[in-house]
Amino acid sequence: MKEKDRFILDIKRLGINGEGIGFYNKLAIFVKDAIPGEGIEVEVTKVLPNMAYAKALTIKNKSNARVLPECPYYSRCGACQVMHIDYQKMGEFKRDAVIEAIKRYTKINPKRFEIKQTILAQEPYHYRNKATLVVRKDKGMNAISMIEEGTNRSFAVDSCLVQDELINKINQKIIELSNELKIKTLGDDNYSWRYLVTRVTKATRESLVCLVVYKYDDEIKNFAKKLLESKICDSLYININNDSKTHEIFGTDTIHIGGKNSVIEMIGKYKFNIYPTTFFQLNTKQTEVLYERVKKAAKLTHQERVLDAYCGVGTIASYLANVSKEVIGIEYNKESIVAAKENLKLNKIKNISFYQGDTAKLLLELIKKDINFDVAVFDPPRTGLGKDIIDTLLKTNIKRIVYVSCNPATLAKDLALLTEKYNIRYIEPIDMFPNTSHVESITLLDLKK
């Protein structure tokens, strides 16, 4: 097989980025926007030793799950990958992704425990409570932009179908004001403004805006002053990121310009302060569903000491506190720990302690001090737990582990190691990011007798 070859390919499953996957002489071929069950005439675009890529030419056998994407930018934008698939059917594919990862990365038989149906979101659109967007010139005018799929290029958009509608409205007002003031952005010589970060809370409908700038000059100071006067948002910050080579959004200096110091979000009855750089789940309503399932899996009876690893600003810890004897949260990010302690006071919770540092090291230190845990909840980044933490866990006798994963591949690899000492009771996928290929799940493990 070589580039430009054409043939009919039967699509068998979805890849982790939402591509359809078919096989040609046992070689996996990835096809953008293809759906399992479809027969597609493809043209090979790239051949690698262990895989190939192809583009769809003609759909010979269309899937009943294929729908017309509602977003006008879908064909260009890389933010959503599966808007062309019926939402109910996509829930099945996300469950399949978990099963496929276990088969691929482990010797575990996924039929030996329950893999539940995916919990779908009630609102598959306008669910995101935060937008981080490039601001640049388009036809001589400032515009918010999305990154074009598979490139570093951006293109102008008026709004985004998965962002909170209030975010879209706020962003448009800010862009209009920036054009009136002729604020320099990417594409201008000697520009100042780089990114627009906008948050809107679902509970209180408060808004926080942060302008990420290359330099905090008189032009930006005047822009910020006019933004405050216009009362477009409830809280306004400036973040200075003067590293032109970094791919990080935020720089080290964040300045509160005016309005509220923070905005309040709620999960269930618990309140949380949100700042510009605070990590917080992007889908607030589905997060409450997720935490309820975590609480159910943990089976707490007010008698347990609970570990909340990767605790962030203490959202899961707070949610479990009223059914636990004690909760201890561990988080590496210093700013998050500061916010977590603020949230304890905000919610008047007295049975949570937070520790800042590396999870594996701190867990060992706590155990050496005879601080043992009955239940541990882990919500790690996409890289998963990793061998150091798992090695530490295998030295403990924690009775029950609730593992919240955002990556089926790393989940599977971690489960392969954890099953040395733990049984998998079930895995429950939950769709935190509708219209994307991302798969979140909750795995319950208990100690082997």
Mean pLDDT within 85-105: 96
Give 102-158 pLDDT, tens digit per residue.
Answer: 999 999 999 999 999 999 999 999 999 999 999 999 999 999 998 888 777 889 999
pLDDT of residue 147: 83
The DSSP element (H or E) to which 154 belongs, if any, is strand 154-156
Would you state the pLDDT for residue 27? 95
Q: Is the pLDDT at 319 greater than 90, yes or no?
A: yes
**How confident is the model at residue 198, as a pLDDT?**
98
May I ask the CATH class of domain 130-267?
mainly beta
* pLDDT tens readout for residues 332-376: 988 899 999 999 999 999 999 999 999 989 998 998 898 999 999
- What is the rounded average pLDDT for all residues in the chain? 95
CB 119 within 8 A of CB 94: no
Residue from 270, 274, 271 nearest 235 by CA: 274
CA distance linking residue 170 with residue 104, whole number of Å? 45
Annotated catalytic sites, by residue? Answer: 406
pLDDT on residue 449? 84
Please give the pLDDT value at position 402. 98
pLDDT of residue 278: 87
Q: Residue 383: is its pLDDT beyond 90?
A: yes
DSSP state, 66? B
State the Cα–Cα distance between residues 141 and 104, nearest whole angstrom.
Answer: 49
| CATH class as words, domain 6-66 | mainly beta
Query: What percentage of residues in the chain have a pLDDT greater than 70?
Result: 100
Could you tell me if 377 and 402 are in contact, meaning their C-beta atoms sit under 8 angstroms apart?
yes
Whether residue 297 has pLDDT greater than 90:
yes
Helix (H, G, I), strand (E, B) or coil at 174: helix
User: Could you tell me which residues are beta bridge partners of residue 130?
Assistant: 199
Give the pLDDT confidence score for residue 150 in this predicted structure: 75
- Top-confidence residue, 1 or 258: 258
pLDDT score, position 202: 94
- Provide the pLDDT confidence category of residue 162 given band limits of 50, 70 and 90: very high
Indicate the DSSP class of residue 184.
Answer: -
User: Is pLDDT at 279 greater than 90 in this prediction?
Assistant: no
pLDDT in tens, 259-276: 999 999 999 999 999 999
- Tell me the percentage of the chain whose pLDDT exceeds 90: 90
Closest CA to 438 of 382, 384, 391: 382
- CA–CA dist 311, 330 (Å, integer): 6
- Given this chain, do its domains 6-66 and 130-267 carry the same CATH topology? yes
Query: Considering just the CA atoms, what is the radius of gyration of the chain in Å?
Result: 24
Domain residue ranges of the chain, discontinuous segments joined by +: 6-66, 94-122+283-447, 130-267
Q: Which neighbouring-strand residues pair with 13?
A: 21
CA atoms within 13 A on the CB side of 385: 27
pLDDT of residue 215: 93
The pLDDT tens digits of the residues spanning 396-444 come to: 899 999 999 999 999 999 999 999 999 999 999 999 999 999 999 999 9
Q: Are 446 and 435 a contacting pair, CB within 8 Å? A: no
What would the DSSP string read from start to end of 261-291?
A: S-EEEEETTEEEEE-TT----SBHHHHHHHH
Give residue 187's pLDDT: 87
Q: Comparing C-alpha atoms, which of 291, 289, 297 is closest to residue 312?
A: 291
DSSP 117: P
Q: What pLDDT shows up at residue 309?
A: 95
**For residue 247, what pLDDT is reported?**
85
Average pLDDT score over residue span 195-207: 96
CATH of 94-122+283-447, one of 3.30.565.10, 3.40.50.150, 2.60.120.650, 3.30.700.30: 3.40.50.150
pLDDT value of residue 244: 84
